[in-house]
Amino acid sequence: MDFINKLKFDSKGLIPAVAQDINTKEVLMVAYMNKEAIQKTIETGKAHYYSRSRQKLWLKGETSGHFQIVKEISFDCDLDTILIKVEQIEGACHTGHYSCFYRYLEGNELKEKEENILDNNFEILQEIYNVIVDRKNNPKEGSYTNYLFDKGIDKMLKKVGEESAEVIIASKNNNKEEIVYEMSDLLYHLMVVMVETGVKWEDICKELKKRR
């Protein structure tokens, strides 16, 4: 990794790193990396940073499960800042917000964004999709998702068929709560099939746009 020697680290051997959601383009957080953190990030495909307060290397999501799956790494013109484009598993901020940049200035007053799931309806689908991808790449004992991957495509498709039937029954009963529940189950199993077959939400959106 000879390129690392071209980067401009500060006097403490650190360089700022900006994490950005590769799908929404939202800036998620700013942290610091040293040479080891960069190497670990490249080797594992998951973002590693250096904690200035704890003075140690840390894997983003190690305790929370909110991993950052690295998709692209680039550098600014002066080679003194890193931009990491990631697939974020759940929220990036330790406060529970999706992005650390949830405060904004209105006039002279500092306010917090109201995160409404209706305003981020696609993001929740992408987050769940990302979790499924992570389960496939990093199997977790006892995970139902990994059970489906172990059983293969036939089992996945059988579940899609079963859940489709449940949606039909719930709709015939005209029970909204039941319909929402069964449709959520169906969407989850469809996403497992998407991951297994290499289909991404971008592919679905492109096809829908063509039909609009």
Instruction: Identify whether residues 83 and 157 lie together within a single domain.
Output: no
> Among 61, 87, 112, which residue terminates a domain?
112
If you compute the radius of gyration of the chain from its CA atoms, what whole number of angstroms results?
20
> Among 58, 89, 112, which residue terminates a domain?
112
Model pTM above 0.95: no
Number of DSSP helices (H) and strands (E) in the chain, helices first: 6, 8
Residues 33-84 have pLDDT tens digits of 999 999 999 999 999 999 999 899 999 998 888 999 999 999 999 999 999 9
- Which pLDDT score, from 0 to 100, does residue 115 have? 59
Report the alpha-carbon distance of residue 95 to residue 116 in Å, rounded.
16
**127 touches 105 (CB < 8 A):** no
Report the alpha-carbon distance of residue 128 to residue 184 in Å, rounded.
11
**Domains identified in the chain, total number:** 2
> Among 78, 112, 146, which residue terminates a domain?
112
Instruction: Identify whether residues 106 and 125 lie together within a single domain.
Output: no
Q: Which of 73, 94, 91, 66 is nearest to 18 (CA)?
A: 73
Instruction: Identify whether residues 22 and 53 lie together within a single domain.
Output: yes
Angle at 96 between CA 91 and CA 98, to 5 degrees: 35
Residue where the block lists tokens 């692209």: 72
- Which pLDDT score, from 0 to 100, does residue 212 have? 74
Instruction: Identify whether residues 139 and 100 lie together within a single domain.
Output: no
Instruction: Identify whether residues 98 and 157 lie together within a single domain.
Output: no
Instruction: Identify whether residues 126 and 86 lie together within a single domain.
Output: no
